Structure formats: C-alpha cells, structure tokens
Amino acid sequence: MLFGRSGSGGFLLLEALLSITIGIVVICGALGIFAQCVRLFSSILERIEEKEQALSALYAVFHLARYGDNAVVSGGGRRFTVRLRNSTLSVYALRNSLLLAHKGTANPIAEGCTGVAFSLLQHSLTVRISFGDEVYTLQVLPGYFKR
C-alpha cells in the first residue's frame, strides 16, 4: 500500500518522506537567506566602522590644525606636528594605527589606518588618510588654519 490511503487514517511512508524532504528544503532555504543577511550586515557594519574611524581621525587632525600653532610636516609628509598651548603634539601612522603623540606617549586616534600623507603649502594643510581601499582627504584652508 505505497500509493493509497492506509486503513487507519495515518500517513504512508511516501507521504512522510515527501513531507520531510519539503520541510528540509524550506529550512535550508531559510538558513541560506539568513546566512546571506548576516554576511551582508557584517560587511556593512565593517564599512560603517571604517568610515567612523576615518571621520574621527580627520576630525582630530582638523582641530589640531585649527587650534594649534607652529605646524610642521616632517618625515617625508608622514608626520604632522603642532603646538597646542604649551604642548607639542604629533600625528603619524604606525602598524595600522593613526597615533597622537604627546609627551613621549602615543595614543591611537584610529585603528585600521593603512597610510597617511600630510602636506603644508602656503598656510593650507592637506591630509590624506587611507583605510583599506578608501582614501579620505581633508584640506584645512588658510581661514581656519593658524601657522
């Protein structure tokens, strides 16, 4: 009695196997969609964190340039030094971190920084900070910049 109804009103073996197979296909499809959503969310979150790190770094450099005095770019454009009140502060990249050095101690401004380039021309500071494949550029114009 493989294809007909059983006399007791239960399911046949073929019906049960077919139901289980359809159920497994539906569950696997749902899990596949869920896994794709998790991967997509993870990559979007990573990009957002990278942009937040870049924005934080650019914000810190902008305020140092705006409120500091005696700005100097050294190290072939890899280090930016400024005096803020009575302290000398330096910004530079080292081992995937953008660091702010003050009194012999370097603290990270941003993690994941793959490169930095500073240039100081005619009271205008240009900063290029790389995070992965993205390059962010900040230009502090003479009206906002004290030399």
> 103-136 pLDDT, tens per residue?
889 999 888 888 899 998 877 889 999 988 889 9
* pLDDT at 113 (0 to 100): 87
Question: First vs last Cα of the chain: how many Å apart?
Answer: 94
Of the two residues 23 and 144, the one the predictor is more confident about is 23
CB of 110 closer than 8 Å to CB of 98: yes
- Residue-wise pLDDT for 48-66, tens only, equals 988 888 888 889 888 888 8
CB of 129 closer than 8 Å to CB of 135: yes
**Spans of all domains in the chain:** 43-144
* pLDDT at 104 (0 to 100): 85
**Burial (0-12, 13-18, 19+ Cβ within 10 Å), 113:** buried
Six-digit token pair at 41? 């969310």
